[in-house]
Amino acid sequence: MVNPRNWFAEAIATYALVFFGPLAIILSVVAFGDGLSIESIIMISLAHGAAIGLMVYAFGHISGAHINPAVTIPMMITKKISVADGIGYIIFQLIGAVVAAFSLKAILPEIGAKVNFGTQGGPSELLNNSVMAGITVEIILTFFLVTVIFLTAVHKKAPAGIHGISIGGMVFLLHLVGVPLTGASMNPARTFGPAVVSGFWELHWLYWVAPIIGGIIAGVIMNYIFVNNAEPETKRRSRASSIGKSQELEKYEKQYLAKLEKKPVEQERKKVSRSRTG
**150 touches 219 (CB < 8 A):** yes
* Euclidean distance between CA atoms 162 and 213, whole angstroms: 26
The CATH number of the structural domain formed by 4-233 is: 1.20.1080.10
* Euclidean distance between CA atoms 143 and 262, whole angstroms: 69
pLDDT at 153: 95
* Euclidean distance between CA atoms 14 and 99, whole angstroms: 10
How close are the terminal C-alpha atoms of the chain, in Å? 77
Q: Mean pLDDT lowest for which of 83-92, 115-124, 222-231, 262-271?
A: 262-271
* Euclidean distance between CA atoms 109 and 131, whole angstroms: 30
Q: Mean pLDDT lowest for which of 98-107, 174-183, 224-233?
A: 224-233
**92 touches 7 (CB < 8 A):** yes
Closest CA to 211 of 56, 46, 73, 9: 73
**222 touches 47 (CB < 8 A):** no
What integer is the mean pLDDT of 189-195? 98
- The alpha carbon of residue 163 and the mean position of all alpha carbons in its chain are separated, in whole angstroms, by 8
- DSSP class of residue 201? -
Q: Check whether 266 has a pLDDT greater than 90.
A: no
Which segments of the chain does DSSP mark as H helices, in order? 4-25, 38-59, 69-77, 83-107, 109-113, 131-149, 163-178, 188-198, 206-222, 228-277
CB atoms within 10 A of CB 160: 5
pLDDT at 17: 98
pLDDT band at residue 271 under the 50/70/90 scheme: low
Mean pLDDT, all residues of the chain? 90
Q: Check whether 278 has a pLDDT greater than 90.
A: no
**pLDDT tens, position by position, 235-246:** 545 454 555 556
**pLDDT tens, position by position, 17-27:** 999 999 999 99
* Euclidean distance between CA atoms 123 and 127, whole angstroms: 6
* Euclidean distance between CA atoms 112 and 94, whole angstroms: 20
Q: Check whether 234 has a pLDDT greater than 70.
A: no
- CB within 8 A of 140, min separation 6: which ones? 214
pLDDT at 2: 82
Query: Could you tell me the residue ranges of all domains in the chain?
Result: 4-233
pLDDT at 21: 98
Q: Check whether 255 has a pLDDT greater than 90.
A: no
What integer is the mean pLDDT of 131-148? 98
**pLDDT tens, position by position, 51-107:** 999 999 999 999 999 999 999 999 999 999 999 999 999 999 999 999 999 999 999
* Euclidean distance between CA atoms 184 and 190, whole angstroms: 10
